[in-house]
A = this chain, B = another copy of it.
């Protein structure tokens, strides 16, 4: 017997037929003897419709701009999950499975007061645990809780993943199964490299690097929470047949388990190749090489809401002047250049150069820590294909390389091959 949380997104509950398919997945786990809590999103498209209404309403009412009360936004938008949680409970009951729906305010899932993008503070699990022990399935409306003002608070878009992981932590679940429209985490994007393989296991740290680099399987915030609370998170496809093998079929699990590295017995040196398109590079030439120069540059960037990614500073050759290179999303380049121009005197630089449409390719692997030469392998492989490297940053488990956009696919395939990711 295990206690598990199962999470289904909007595509999985888009209509009555799909909700019944979800119910069959749940029934399978119940019949396997598990205690089950389910977290559901709103029907696909429903949240967008509700959000559109809230945004349009001030304009229809004659206001000159779309300002609205985030607490009303929350009350309106949370109704989508209220509907699907109730419908799934009805479907389960109709299949002979004891179940009830729980709204965020009923459990309660307590959040802070940041309506529209609230953070979960505590989940009172005592009553839920009693019901689970009676083999009643808890169908929980995702994406929502209740704030200190006794009003519904939503967690921001994609928040149902976070709801599921937080619930799993609160009830001490053995596993949190995230059903989504992909069947797991791959060594790289299969659309670029058809030889990409699904990973059976990936560590929280690796997943964080992959998610923030655009793998988009799981919200970054939910992976962070899973790591902090050590919630084993299993990503699988909701389009699998409900009688497909379960997670317990360890030889060939139908998805990817995201877990602590202790659980990954044979660590590969490199686990995957990620990429992020539409990066832009900004270089400042002949900066005074003095303390505080970084703050002078990146303070204005943060104030303008620009998300700076790679930062590379060269050692100055003459002890007086240095160069600084960093990347921002291409869409933010104009704002960034304007901010630099406005602060030119405070920063003190000679010229600024920028280049858009670049790509960041990243080599990720927890085994990198104990293996030398991983970076050198990448550089040599790219050089063999005449791919020019514009900038490099590294962390303990990641090497990121900035290259020209047109070489993105070639670089991903080259790196995927050179680390043998398509052979195992």
Contact = CB atoms under 8 A, between A and B. Distances in A.
Interface of A: 16-17, 19-20, 23, 50, 53-54, 56-58, 60-63, 67-69, 71-73, 75-76, 78-80, 82-83, 85-87, 89-91, 93-95, 100-101, 103, 105-106, 150-152
A78 B93 CA distance: 20
A75 B103 contact: yes
Given A60-B17, A150-B106, A151-B106, A69 B93 contact: yes
Given A20-B60, A57-B19, A58-B94, A101 B72 contact: yes
Contacts of A152: 103
A238 to B, nearest CB: 17
19 contacts: A20-B57, A20-B60, A20-B61, A23-B61, A53-B83, A53-B87, A62-B94, A62-B95, A68-B94, A69-B89, A72-B86, A72-B93, A75-B85, A75-B103, A76-B82, A76-B87, A78-B82, A82-B82, A106-B150
Given A19-B57, A58-B90, A58-B94, 12 more contacts: A57-B87, A61-B91, A68-B94, A72-B87, A72-B100, A72-B101, A73-B86, A75-B85, A75-B86, A79-B80, A103-B152, A105-B105
Which 7 interchain pairs have the tightest Cβ spacing?
A76-B86, A61-B94, A79-B79, A58-B94, A63-B94, A75-B86, A72-B86
Contacts of A16: 53, 56-57, 60
Contacts of A101: 72, 75
- Residue among A53, A73, A75 with the highest chain B CB neighbour number at 10 A: A75
Interface of A is mostly: helix
Contacts of A57: 16, 19-20, 87, 90-91, 94
Contacts of A93: 58, 68-69, 72
Contacts of A86: 54, 72-73, 75-76
A54 B95 contact: no
A103 to B, nearest CB: 7
Given A20-B60, A101-B75, A105-B105, A68 B90 contact: yes
Contacts of A103: 75, 152
Contact of A71 (B23, B67, B95, B100): B100
A100 B70 CA distance: 11
Contacts of A61: 20, 23, 90-91, 94-95
A319 to B, nearest CB: 58
Contacts of A67: 94
Contacts of A90: 54, 57-58, 61, 68-69, 72-73, 76
Contacts of A23: 61
A59 to B, nearest CB: 8
A243 to B, nearest CB: 15
A20 B150 CA distance: 27
A71 B101 CA distance: 9
Contacts of A58: 90-91, 93-94
A19 B73 CA distance: 16
Nearest to A66: B94
A57 B17 CA distance: 9
A335 B169 CA distance: 57
Contacts of A62: 20, 94-95
